[in-house]
Amino acid sequence: MKDFPTLKIAFTAIIAGILLVVFIAGFRDVAADYFGLRFGERRFTKPPIEVFPDMDRQLKVKTQHPSAIFTDGRADRSPVAGTVPKGIPVDNPYLLTGRFGNRWGTGIPIEVTEQLLARGQERYNINCAVCHGKAGLGNGVAAQYTGLAGVVASLHQQRIIDQPDGQIYTTIYHGKGQMLGYPHISVEDRWAIVAYVRALQRARMATLRDVPPEIQQVLLTARGPAETDQPVNSNQ
Amino acid sequence: MPNIFPRWTNWLPLKVALIIAILGFLVVNGVTYYFTPKYTRVGYMPGQPVSFDHSLHAEQLGLDCRYCHTGVEKASHSNVPTVQTCMACHLHVQKQSAKLAPVRAAWESGEPIRWVRIHQAPDYVYFNHAAHVNRGISCQSCHGQVNHMTVVWHHEPQSMGWCLECHRRPENFIRDVNEVYNLNYTISTEEQRILGRKLVEEWGVQPPQNCAGCHR
């Protein structure tokens, strides 16, 4: 047992080393939570292991999940031909289609309130502004890219101003020409967007007479005396 | 009487106790870190069938999350967009790009693109997106700054303890409903405390802490 001390030292060193590694590892949580230290932040592509996988994944039909029940693998079934989804206003065809028979109708078939316009503005900014621009001039961010540049319509063209409301509604619903439709936008929201597009068009053609008197005064001082019938926004 | 135990065993019980204590501490700490979603999930970044880039689409183009994740404020499920959503632009933009070939193929065949799912609560958990985003809880609190990610990765553990951390103190996270989709929103801790308290009180926010709230 002459080399006993060396063995003992080596043995202690190994144990201490292992303990140190586990110790630091054990403290990762403490370090992250209390000291904000993150070492060895990792990215991995293998699905995370589930430590206790009991009932984590059940054999039920789930949204946007494939299903083994049907041969095409889709859990969401297409509606049977000729059926109508619940909540679709079949008894009010104008509300749904923007048409009376085979003619376009005009007028917003739901009550136009300030709330509806605010909703329309929000929906327009989410769904339309990337292409048509916040003001409807056809100059949104995406419209600057090759392919869409010069293709996106300005909503202030006389041709579109003159279109019946039902036609704009249908453009949103089914798209038109180079523009695809937005069938997922709800019926009310589509009409809210139509109302907002009308407001944008109106605002661009507004004259001084259209604004409340107190604001008229502000505008007049800002711009100097002008003909009250000229559009306020006549930079084009 | 001879000594049954040699002298060196005098300290043995203490040494054994010490080692067991240290090991116990390490095992508990290690397990609560390495065997929990903090380690198993955070950082999960699967390859996707199309190299879709949120930082380009959401930040550079300024697209609202709701342009694509259309159901998030209406439904419990936040849907991944349909191919038509992509084609609205990609019928025109980058028509020839090889990176978009799977999207065009899906558009022609009608087969869905099989995006790899990243965030997925166990099936015994009831989770509802609309209930959160309409109450001033931003995507950022639960998914991190997706608008700066080129490839989406699992940013938060989304474990039960993590859910409860917010359910117990929603005032630390809640914000104005108009800022929910603004992932670049910042606020000082001090202001957050004042605003958070005010909103929680005004809206009467009471996230469930009972088991049946989330395990229904």
Evaluate if residue B170 carries a pLDDT over 50.
yes
- What are the two backbone dihedrals, phi and then psi, of residue B44, each rounded to the nearest 5 degrees? -65, 120
Q: Which of A43, A57, A78, A125 to mutate to test the interface with B (most CBs of B within 10 A)?
A: A43
CB contact under 8 A, A126 and B47: no
CB nearest to B43's CB, from A25, A42, A151: A42
pLDDT digits (tens, 9 = 90+) for A186-204: 999 999 999 999 999 999 8
Segment B161-171 shows an average pLDDT of 95
What is the C-alpha to C-alpha distance for residues B186 and A60, in angstroms, rounded to an integer? Answer: 40
| Residue, of A21 and A179, whose pLDDT is higher | A179
What is the C-alpha to C-alpha distance for residues A27 and A31, in angstroms, rounded to an integer? Answer: 6
Contact list in A for residue B92 (CB cut-off 8 A) is 147-148, 151, 178
CB nearest to B29's CB, from A26, A41, A56: A26
What is the C-alpha to C-alpha distance for residues A105 and A98, in angstroms, rounded to an integer? Answer: 6
Evaluate if residue A233 carries a pLDDT over 70.
no
Q: What is the pLDDT of residue B172?
A: 94
Segment B11-33 shows an average pLDDT of 86
Burial class (CB in 10 A: 0-12, 13-18, 19+), B34: middle
What is the C-alpha to C-alpha distance for residues A57 and B190, in angstroms, rounded to an integer? Answer: 41
Taken in order of first residue, the domains within chain A and their CATH numbers are 1-58 (no CATH), 93-205 (1.10.760.10)
Residue B118 amino acid letter: I
Most confident of the ranges A63-72, A202-211, B73-82: B73-82
Residue B99 amino acid letter: K
Q: At what angle are helices A28-35 and A4-26 packed, to 10 degrees?
A: 40
Evaluate if residue A1 carries a pLDDT over 60.
no
What is the C-alpha to C-alpha distance for residues A225 and A222, in angstroms, rounded to an integer? Answer: 9
CB nearest to A145's CB, from B41, B93, B124: B93
Q: What is the pLDDT of residue B153?
A: 94
Q: Which of B16, B23, B32, B33 to mutate to test the interface with A (most CBs of A within 10 A)?
A: B33
User: Of B133, B121, B196, which Cα lies nearest the Cα of B162?
Assistant: B121
Question: Is the minimum CB–CB distance between B153 and chain A shorter than 8 Å?
Answer: yes
Average pLDDT, chain B: 92
Average pLDDT, chain A: 84
Residue for token digits 């932040």? A41
CB contact under 8 A, B92 and A62: no
Q: What is the pLDDT of residue A2?
A: 55
CA distance B124 to chain A (A): 7
Please check whether residue A140 is in contact with residue A132, taking contact to mean a CB–CB distance below 8 angstroms: yes
Q: What is the pLDDT of residue A217?
A: 84
- Two tokens, residue A5: 């001390």
Q: What is the pLDDT of residue A235?
A: 41
Evaluate if residue A229 carries a pLDDT over 60.
no
Half-sphere exposure (CA, 13 Å, Cβ side) for A173?
18
Whole-number percent of chain A with pLDDT over 90 = 40
CB contact under 8 A, A56 and B123: yes
Please check whether residue B183 is in contact with residue B145, taking contact to mean a CB–CB distance below 8 angstroms: yes
The 3 state secondary structure assigned to chain A is CCCHHHHHHHHHHHHHHHHHHHHHHHCHHHHHHHHCCCCCCCCECCCCCCCCCCCCCCCCCCCCCECCCCCCCECCCCCCCCCCCCCCCCCCHHHHHCEECCEECCCCCCCCCHHHHHHHHHHHHHHCHHHHCCCCCCCCCHHHCCCCCCCCCCCCCHHHHCCCHHHHHHHHHHEECCEECCCCCCHHHHHHHHHHHHHHHHHHCCEHHHCCHHHHHHHHHHHCCCCCCCECCCCC
ipTM of the complex: 0.86
CB contact under 8 A, B123 and A58: yes
Segment B146-175 shows an average pLDDT of 94
pLDDT band at residue A234, thresholds of 50, 70 and 90?
A: very low
| Residue, of A29 and B72, whose pLDDT is higher | B72
Structural domain boundaries in chain B: 71-78+119-213
Question: Is the minimum CB–CB distance between B38 and chain A shorter than 8 Å?
Answer: yes
Burial class (CB in 10 A: 0-12, 13-18, 19+), B61: middle
Segment B190-197 shows an average pLDDT of 94
Evaluate if residue A41 carries a pLDDT over 80.
no
pLDDT digits (tens, 9 = 90+) for A96-128: 889 988 899 999 999 999 999 999 999 999 999
CB contact under 8 A, B30 and A26: yes
Q: Which of B19, B77, B86, B89 to mutate to test the interface with A (most CBs of A within 10 A)?
A: B89
Counting one residue from A and one from B, how many pairs have CB atoms under 8 Å apart? 109
Contact list in B for residue A48 (CB cut-off 8 A) is 37, 40-41, 44, 154
pLDDT digits (tens, 9 = 90+) for A7-36: 888 888 988 887 777 666 666 666 666 666
Evaluate if residue B213 carries a pLDDT over 60.
yes
pLDDT band at residue A236, thresholds of 50, 70 and 90?
A: very low
CB contact under 8 A, B93 and A42: no
Residue B75 CB coordination number (10 Å): 13
CB nearest to B93's CB, from A64, A66, A148: A148
Sign of the dihedral defined by the CA atoms of residues B47, B51, B54, B55, in that order: positive
Element (H, E) at B142: helix B139-143
CA distance B61 to chain A (A): 6
pLDDT digits (tens, 9 = 90+) for B94-135: 999 999 999 999 999 988 899 999 999 999 999 999 999 999
pLDDT digits (tens, 9 = 90+) for B45-61: 999 999 999 999 999 99
Residue for token digits 């229904």? B216
